[in-house]
Amino acid sequence: MEVPKIPSWLRSFFFLFTVGFVLWMFFLDINDIPSQFQRNQDIRSLEQEKDFYKRETEKVKSDREKLLTDDAMLEKFAREKYLMKKPSEDVYVLEKQ
């Protein structure tokens, strides 16, 4: 029975080195391909969170500016958020069961 011969270019040091290097870089290195994909997903997620918090910060700043300039808005905020009332009023809080 005859054993198939391996071509010389497959036995070459440079070919074996290149294959080993590629395997090392793609699967064994700390910056391997699966880790890169995971990091890119993490970056996208963090950028979305960053955009969300920027929008929320702008909304809070605009609400704060309204509260500081408009007395009616300040009164409404105090009544809704902190259940404040005038001395002659009664406040009833209704909650869903």
Report d(CA 15, CA 35) in Å as an integer.
26
In a domain, 48, yes or no: yes
Average predicted confidence (pLDDT) for the chain: 88
Interatomic CA distance for residues 70 and 84, integer angstroms: 17
Residue ranges making up the domain that contains 66: 34-88
What pLDDT score was predicted for residue 27? 82
Which pTM was predicted? 0.56
Does residue 29 lie within any of the structural domains?
A: no
Spatial contact of 88 and 81, defined as CB atoms under 8 Å apart: no
62 belongs to a structural domain: yes
Q: By three-state DSSP, how is residue 37 classified?
A: helix
Domain presence at residue 51: yes
pLDDT of residue 1: 67
Tens-digit pLDDT profile for residues 59-90? 999 989 988 899 888 888 888 888 788 888 88
Q: Is 53 contained in some domain?
A: yes
Mean pLDDT for the stretch of residues 29-58: 94
The residue ranking higher by pLDDT, 50 or 4, is 50
Domain-embedded: residue 97? no
Query: Does any domain span residue 8?
Result: no
Domain count, the chain: 1
17 in any annotated domain: no
